[in-house]
Chains A and B, each alone.
Chain A
Amino acid sequence: MKINKLKSQNSNESGGTSAQAAIDDPFAAAFAQRDVPGRSLWIDAWHRLLKNRAAVVSAIIMFLMLMAVVFGPMISPWAADFTDWDHTASPPSLANGHWFGTDAVGRDILVRTLEGGRISLLVGLVATLVSLVIGITYGSIAGFYGGMTDRLMMRMVDIIYALPFMFFVILLMVIFGRNIILIFVAIGAVNWLDMARIVRGQTLGLKNTEFVEAAQACGVSDRAIITRHIVPNLLGVVMVYVTLTIPQVILVESFLSFLGLGVQEPMSSWGALVNDGAQDMESAPWTLVFPATFLAVTLYCFNYIGDGMRDALDPKDR
């Protein structure tokens, strides 16, 4: 039984679906469409994220929250510092217009909660930004230069990691007074460690990948390598950590406010409101419940979004 020998591949053969030379293949054209079209990593990740119901719901809630804290106080009939002497410490009621009730001096809790939200979210974003900038700079330098520089820099991180950072934040607040800019910087400055570690890990890994080597071998400039190969790969991981850092930072700020070391009156944040509410919780529980709920919901949602992003960009069996 003779074995059909195929003619040697012609030089245009790229292993694709071209017709064999020996027999005129009537199906060649149809076969060409058999391949599954490729999808970029980002589109894939986006699809996966969208399938994560918890993350999507959380994102919607966060969006609504954002709208509420930004526009709510503008359309509310009550100013945050307006003291309604007719209705001090009154429970929530639709009738008198104080939907969340009032506190001991008659300030509307709803407006205060929303305005407090502005501060809490603002701190969350700005402090995260600070920590992002410091972390990325530090991490990419360590990762990029590698060697002794990297070892020293990471040693520093290890040492700082072991220190009770909360105490230092408290010290900072005590030293410099309760300045909101300082809060941004202090919290951010204390939170950059994780970001630095991640960025350094990624940079180190990327620097040594074959595709970067290949790019260098092809004569691609350093700058192009950084912008086209390294940065896009960093972006994903950084985005995940930003989403996870925001709730951490908001938590730290509320901690501080709770201890009386956060933003100064008349500015208020959720943490401060919870602190106030806790004082009156037996007589006026609504002063505690509403800000606490907003805070908890925000943290909850950010955590789910961050989790969802992490799974979308790095899927493993959950």
Chain B
Amino acid sequence: MTNSGLWHHVVSRSLGLIPTLLMLITIAFFMIRMAPGGPFDTEKALPPEIRANLDAKYHLDEPLLQQYFRYLGQIVTLDFGPSFQYKDWTVNELIAQGFPVSLTIGGLAMLVAFFLGTLVGITAALRQNSGVDYSIMGVAMLGISIPNFVVAPLLILVFAVYAGWLPAGGWEWSFRHMLLPVLTLSLPVVAYIARLTRGSMIEVLHSNYIRTARAKGLPERIVILRHALKPALLPVISFMGPATAGLITGSVVIERIYSIPGLGSYFVQGALNRDYTLVMGVVIFYGVIIVLMNFIVDLLYAWLNPKIRFDENQ
């Protein structure tokens, strides 16, 4: 018995990454270029010669396809180019500045979502159809239904304005500053994971192999922890890929509301100001993260599922 199944899986999935990334870059590139108005239109009208120089310097006068391939070449060397909007900065520098912030909040939100969500979901499943179950699921439904840009202002109102315990926004590397953003960001994901876990756990608890485990006289605690937990959590692990995408999406709004200088804010500003390189940089950067995350989740799933891991007939 070998891990050959797993190996096959890794290789084939890795190869699949490339077309995905390529597509991502291409779509983003051509879309942003389609926007009417260029990066320099928003400023006060420039004299034509200066304009021509600028265009030449940033290669905006070249045919689109050429710009595309030039860009691809740059990407390969991980050079996202200079920002059009923030004149003295390169996109790499901007990303390096904004990313750690977004990563911290996003990463924490993901951890909270996973652990809190599964805990809550399992509790509900173990007390299926009880009052506890219904109330948990009701609250979870609320969590999914109320958009985070509604929850956030409300939380700010309560905790920052009225009670004064927490800051209303702004960024510092402190627990007090991170609490509300992380909480608000993770809320819909916690709710979704709770529902998912509950459904999955209920289904597993009805399966024949759980019946066998009980028939063997194992205490319920062992039946749940040893026999039911892993199968029940597999769909949740699969969900972590899309969950990452969701968290990244949500971060755009969260950063705006809480005035956090993360990557999402840069993106929105860049889009509004036609800062091509910045927008491209952020889209690709985030895209890569999502693709990587899906990849890791995929591998994790394959590793945990014996049928895939140990099956030589892939």
- Touch between A and B in complex, CB under 8 Å? yes
Q: Is the CB of B153 within 8 A of A278?
A: yes
Report how far A215 CA is from B257 CA in the complex, Å: 59
The A contact surface, by secondary structure, is helix
Least CB distance from A311 to B in Å reads 11
Q: Is the CB of B206 within 8 A of A281?
A: no
The interface residues of chain B lying within 8 Å CB-to-CB of A275 are 149
The interface residues of chain A lying within 8 Å CB-to-CB of B287 are 162-164
Tell me the chain B residues, 116-148 only, with Cβ under 8 Å from chain A: 128-129, 141-142, 144-147
Closest to A316 in B: B203
**Interface residue count on the A side (C-beta < 8 Å):** 41
Known contacts A162-B290, A167-B286; A317/B257 CB under 8 A: no
Report how far A42 CA is from B153 CA in the complex, Å: 44
Interface bits B149-161 vs A (CB < 8 Å: 1, else 0) = 1100110110001
Interface centre among B23, B144, B153 (most CB of A within 10 A): B153
Contact of B24 among A163, A166, A317 (CB under 8 A): A163
B272 at the interface (CB under 8 A from A): yes
Least CB distance from A280 to B in Å reads 10
Interface residue stretch chosen among B28-36, B73-81, B98-106: B28-36
Interface bits A255-276 vs B (CB < 8 Å: 1, else 0) = 1001100000000000100110
The interface residues of chain A lying within 8 Å CB-to-CB of B202 are 317-318
B249 at the interface (CB under 8 A from A): yes
Q: Is the CB of A259 within 8 A of B267?
A: no
Known contacts A258-B253, A281-B153; A167/B283 CB under 8 A: yes
A23 at the interface (CB under 8 A from B): no
B224 at the interface (CB under 8 A from A): no
Q: Is the CB of B147 within 8 A of A278?
A: no
The interface residues of chain A lying within 8 Å CB-to-CB of B10 are none
Known contacts A167-B267, A255-B149; A175/B36 CB under 8 A: yes
Contact of A317 among B206, B241, B283 (CB under 8 A): B206
Interface residue stretch chosen among A94-102, A143-151, A292-300: A292-300
A-B contact pairs, 17 of them (CB 8 A): A162-B245, A162-B287, A164-B245, A164-B248, A165-B249, A167-B282, A167-B286, A175-B36, A254-B147, A255-B253, A278-B257, A288-B153, A292-B154, A295-B146, A295-B147, A296-B146, A299-B147
